[in-house]
Amino acid sequence: MAEPRTSTESRSSTAWLVIAEQELRDLWLAGRGLLLMFAYSVLLSVTSYLVATNQALNFLERRESVTLTLQVAVAVSGLLVLLGSADAVSGERERGTLETLLLTPASRQSLVVGKGTAALSLWVVSIALSVPYLWFIGRGVGVVAEAVVSGFIVSGLLALFLSGLGLLISTVSSTNRVSLSVSLFVLLALYAPTQLASIGVAGTAGDVLLRLDPFTGGLDYLNKLLVGGHSAGQDIGVLIPTLVAAAVFPVAALATASRLTLLTRERS
């Protein structure tokens, strides 16, 4: 009796790898991932060119330029991860391929982990693509290493959060359109407080809103570190909502995965 159980466990533990490999292949060899990266690199090129051609920038403004470029990279890489994960389950459902996946021996959690891994690959590649731009803009002000490391950590936390969020929404959405619309709406709602932060929000409610928003926390941390010259541990508190979101949402997505179904609409 022991052998079949071991075999099942082994199959289950590697199933997510098989799914991740297939998803990565689809994403990067079928062209969609590279197309997104092309658009992303054009955006970073335009941003960097505009920054680099402004010769009137002083030392602080140069650091702000590095931060701006990094924040664009972090925000857009988060967007890409969200789009990838929001399409993961609802896309299969809409294309009529979810049933086939559910019939495989892979558990539903393995399915979600594999798809989440593929979505996170968009973050890895996009952050790697941003490094040359950050190096070019930040080399004169000694902030390149700091920007790359802090950007990698903050964007990684946001990517984990957004992949969890996207998978969660995708799992419970009946159509891909609903999943993508809701995900983008939530993302825009999360970005909005970052704009409030830049104009200054008075009052307890505004302060609480800013402190709870994972995006505001992450981007504010980068700003304090790179422009304010603060030490890495000085403002670690502002990263707490980002850390919590990065831990909670993937777990929530896994928990919801156990109830992953074809949904009533498709069955009828």
Partner 1 sequence: MKGVLVAATLLVTSAGLMGQSAPVPAGSTHAGTDHAVPAQSPPSYSGSAPADVLPVASAPAAVTVALDRTVADATLGGTFSFDATVRNESAQPVSGLIAHLNVLSSDPSVYVDPEDWSSHRSQFLDVLPAHSSATLRWPVQAVTAGPAIVYVAVTDPAAKTVAVSGPLQVTVPQRATINAGGIVPLALGIPAVVLALLVFTALRRRHLR
Residues numbered 72 to 91 that lie near partner 1 (CB under 8 A) are 72, 75-76, 79-80, 83
Instruction: Return the SS3 of 19.
Output: helix
- Decide whether 93 or 108 has the Cβ nearer to partner 1: 93
* 32 in Cβ contact with 129 (< 8 Å): no
Q: Calculate the alpha carbon distances from 105 to 6, 13, 110, 168, 226 in Å.
A: 14, 11, 10, 22, 48
Residues 2-31 as x/- pattern, contact with partner 1 by CB under 8 A: --------------------------xxxx
Positive or negative torsion for Cα 53, 58, 61, 66: positive
| 264 is a contact residue toward partner 1 (CB under 8 A) | no
| From 6, 96, 105, 132, residue interacting with partner 1 (rule: CB under 8 A) | 132
d(CA 10, CA 225): 44
With tokens 């928990």, the residue in question is 255
Closest by CA position to 20, among listed 124, 148, 96, 172: 124
| 47 is a contact residue toward partner 1 (CB under 8 A) | yes
| 195 is a contact residue toward partner 1 (CB under 8 A) | yes
| 233 is a contact residue toward partner 1 (CB under 8 A) | no
| 136 is a contact residue toward partner 1 (CB under 8 A) | yes
| 41 is a contact residue toward partner 1 (CB under 8 A) | yes
| From 59, 95, 265, 267, residue interacting with partner 1 (rule: CB under 8 A) | 59
Helix, strand, coil proportions of the chain in percent (round to 5)? 85, 0, 15
- Decide whether 30 or 232 has the Cβ nearer to partner 1: 30
Considering only the stretches 6-14, 113-121, 192-200, 251-259, report the one whose residues sit in contact with partner 1 under the rule CB under 8 A: 192-200
| 236 is a contact residue toward partner 1 (CB under 8 A) | no
